[in-house]
Amino acid sequence: MEKIYDLIIIGGGPAGLSAGIYGSRSGLRTLLLEKWLIGGLAATTDWLENYPGFPDGIKGMDLMDKLKAQAQRFGAEIMQAEVKSVKPMTGNIKIETDKKNYTTATVIVATGTLPKKLNVPGEDELRGRGVSYCATCDGPLFRDRDIAVIGCGNSGLQEGHFLLKFAKNITFVEFLPHMTAEKILQERLKNEPRVQFMLNHLLVSINGKERVNSITIRNRVTNQEKMIEVSGVFIYIGFIALSYFLKGVVQMDDAGFIMTDKNLTTSVPGIFAAGDIRSKNIRQVVTACAEGAEAAINAHHYIETLNR
């Protein structure tokens, strides 16, 4: 006989694991499905210094392992599977994966995002060892060092302004001959003596063996290449919302991020969203955990209304 779950969580990052803790602890039959790595992007972060409760910081993987163990302690099942589709039915929701299908009363989507990659030599090899996609997470690790920021859109300049609190100097590299960020963001950095802009330049490679030690860029007009010594490279060319399996099911914004109300409910009753997959402004581990907990509590309340 098929096991019917009260709650299925799609995504095993901070939001999903926190939802697993709160869902299973409240007595819900809870299943968490994760396609790749338990812990998500947070697990790939070398050192988290801004998560409450760890004054000396903690490795991203270590924190995610603790959340996983806590969810399993309360009875959450965790399985590796890729969700192919979510189908709301009368009275329940069907979930199809690459391994088997499941039935549940509620779903929390916590799949998060993937940073867009440049696919240049050194990017994958040195990720977490100088290559970063999160200034708030990793900026303090580069105090008094020279770094590069790739991308001069809003995210690049906003995060670059934050990184100035720590870095000695910042080189901004932009593929286009002009910056695309809002003028107010450009003005904040334009006259900063510790900043240089390399517009109309292509990042050719990120260099280093154990850690990043330089980047190579190419002038798109002259084709001349230049090596710049840096200890860190922060890449901001955008993020990809991992919501492809929900296309046409729930309401999303133009970038594919899921729209929710104040209770984290999507446009489909019984389907909630939490963490970085939501359409919002702030994406941090601590906010993802909070939203995962809130979504699980609201899912529990929703189930109670079904049973009345």
Mean pLDDT in the chain?
94
**Burial level of 132, CB count in 10 A (0-12/13-18/19+)?**
buried
- How is the chain classified by DSSP, letter by letter? -PPEEEEEEE--SHHHHHHHHHHHHTT--EEEEESS-TTHHHHT-S-BSSSTT-TT-B-HHHHHHHHHHHHHHTT-EEEE--EEEEEE-SSSEEEEESS-EEEEEEEEE---EEEPP---TTTTTTBTTTEES-HHHHGGGGTT-EEEEE--SHHHHHHHHHHTTT-SEEEEEESSSS--S-HHHHHHHHT-TTEEEEETEEEEEEE-SSS--EEEEEETTT--EEEEE-SEEEE-S-EEES-GGGTTTS-B-TTSPBP--TT-B-SSTTEEE-GGGBSSS---HHHHHHHHHHHHHHHHHHHHHHT-
Which CATH number is associated with domain 117-235? 3.50.50.60
Query: Which of 307 and 140 is assigned the larger pLDDT?
Result: 140
pLDDT for the residue numbered 136: 77
4-114+239-306 and 117-235 share one CATH topology? yes
Could you tell me the fold of the domain covering 4-114+239-306? FAD/NAD(P)-binding domain (3.50.50)
Mean pLDDT of 10-29: 98
Tens-digit pLDDT profile for residues 226-260? 999 999 999 999 889 999 999 999 999 999 999 99
Band of the pLDDT at 38, cuts 50, 70, 90? very high
Tens-digit pLDDT profile for residues 185-218? 899 998 899 999 999 999 999 999 999 999 999 9
pLDDT for the residue numbered 308: 56
Does 46 score more than 80 pLDDT?
A: no
pLDDT for the residue numbered 63: 96
pLDDT for the residue numbered 1: 60
Task: Provide the percentage of residues in the chain whose pLDDT is more than 70.
Answer: 99
Tens-digit pLDDT profile for residues 83-103? 999 999 988 999 999 999 999
Mean pLDDT of 170-187: 94
Query: Which of 133 and 31 is assigned the larger pLDDT?
Result: 31
pLDDT for the residue numbered 137: 80
Mean pLDDT of 162-170: 96
Query: Which of 284 and 299 is assigned the larger pLDDT?
Result: 299
pLDDT for the residue numbered 45: 73
Q: In the chain, what are the domain boundaries?
A: 4-114+239-306, 117-235
Band of the pLDDT at 277, cuts 50, 70, 90? very high
Tens-digit pLDDT profile for residues 126-157? 998 999 988 878 899 999 999 999 999 988 99
